[in-house]
Structure 1
Amino acid sequence: MAEQSDPERDPRWDAVRRAAARRVPTPPGLVERVLRAVARGRRTAVEVPGDDGDLRVAETVVTRLATAIAGERAPAGVRVSAVAVEDDAVQVLVSVRFGVAADEAAEALRREVTAELARQLGTEATVNVHVVDVHRD
Structure 2
Amino acid sequence: MKRILTSFFAVLLLGAVVSCSSVPEKNPNLQRQWMLISFGNFSKQELIKNKAEVNLTGAMEKGRIKGGASMGCNNIFFTSEFKSGGKVKISGVGSTLKACQNMELETAFSQKFDKMTNYSIEGHFLTLSDDNGNSMKFVAADWD
TM-score by length of 2: 0.31
More helix by share: 1
Q: Which structure shows the higher strand fraction? A: 2
TM-score, with length taken from structure 1: 0.32
